[in-house]
Amino acid sequence: MPPSPRTRSRVLARAALAIVTPLAFAGLTELAVVASGFEYPPDTSPISVFVPEGEVEGKKLHERDARELWRPVSGALVPWGRDVLGGDGFRGPELEREKTPGTLRVATLGDSSTFGFGVRFDECWAAQVARELVDRGLRAEVLDAGVIGATVRMGLERWSARVREFAPDVVVLAYGAVNEHAASIGQPDDVLVRELAFQRGAFGGFAERLRAESRLVQLVAWWLDEARGGRAKLEQDRREARAWIARNQADIGRTDWRGERRVSVEEYARFLRELVERVRADGARVVLLAPGRQSVVEQEKPVLLEYTRATVDAARELGVPLVDGRAAMGASGAEYDALYLDHYHPTPEGHRRLARALADAITPLVK
């Protein structure tokens, strides 16, 4: 038997009262807080991230990015090769999103060695691998999406935001050389990326406006901060964390370093697998490059070898071709170290050897 009109009216009245009462209470409390003169505006200082600028002729090489943390600036001049970055911030000739039929498209994701730090574009392995493939009878083009200072966590965002739309046939992933092991930039890369993702979302934007404009919300935020010791205490904790990193910087290369890294070895293994799976799901084949380094740095920072091992393990478990950067150089001792401009970045000859090894790995995938 359906409820009577009188019963329905009572139910609706109670529902309206349940909605209106808390709103009215919140409104009156907001007025009272405003009348008291209380203010606790949000801390609007930006997330502090290292942006490798490399300014040339008044223009920076990289810029902050709400998704990738930072990325190369389209139109920027590269200081080592005097070449200009394309419209999407990639190094090398601009490619149309529509692929040329019969042409193999190779995309490269990695850090400064992938970008080609210290060398001309035609000397870096990303450019040379396309030439090596042509020599093997394949029409090929390359999309160099390397970013100076990037980690594999940033690579996840770069693939989804900028590279996947170019639908590459093969993707070379070259992470784990050095950036991941560095001390976190206030917070680990994953936290920074997720915070930025929240801030750029619709709910995040609404929450930020509410926090900035509502005195009642500011009162709640103040209470929460006070429960943790107050804003001054929180800032003091951040200063102490930075000071601890500075004091213990000499030990950062140890496997038992107690600080917080940009990407831990465990996170690196997880994110690398996730990136491989995303690329595969988008229809591309994957080749992993385990970057080499000068001998001395691997002796001084043994944790870097843990990242290399994680790359090797991922390749084996996922059935992905692996190029060992150290082995690809085909040298040892002083001759091997001479193939690097510094501890991490290959010379043009070092790039050539890497390109040859990568072409050897790519050719069977596409022929």
Q: What is the pLDDT of residues 219-229, one digit of tens each?
A: 776 677 677 77
Domain ranges of the chain: 1-37, 62-184+258-366
pLDDT at 53 over 80: no
Output the pLDDT for position 59: 72
Average pLDDT, the chain: 86
pLDDT tens-digit profile of 119-162? 999 999 999 999 999 999 999 999 999 999 999 999 999 999 99
In angstroms, how far apart are the furthest CA atoms of the chain? 94
Enter the CATH code of domain 62-184+258-366: 3.40.50.1110
- Position 35 scores a pLDDT of 80
Confidence of residue 359 (pLDDT cuts 50, 70, 90): very high
Average pLDDT over residues 316-335: 96
- What are the DSSP E strand ranges found in 42-167? 62-65, 69-72, 104-110, 140-144
Nearest to 81 by CA among 38, 23, 127: 127
pLDDT class for 350, splitting at 50, 70, 90? very high
Residue-level pLDDT at 28: 72
- State which amino acid sits at residue 327: A
* DSSP-derived 3-state class of residue 32: helix
- What is the pLDDT at residue 245? 59
Query: For 203-245, how does the pLDDT look when each residue is reduced to its tens digit (9 = 90+)?
Result: 555 656 666 777 776 677 667 767 777 666 656 655 655 665 5
Tokens 């009577």, residue located: 4
Nearest to 155 by CA among 238, 308, 263, 248: 263
pLDDT of 262 strictly over 90: yes
Question: Is 168 a residue whose pLDDT tops 60?
Answer: yes
Q: Please calculate the CA angle 246-247-251 and round it to the nearest 5 degrees.
A: 95
| Tens digits of residue pLDDT in 70-82 | 999 999 999 888 8
Average pLDDT over residues 182-188: 90
Measured CA to CA in angstroms, residue 241 lies from 79, 234, 303, 315 at distances of 35, 11, 21, 35
% of the chain at pLDDT higher than 70: 77
Cα 308–344–243 angle (5° rounding)?
A: 85
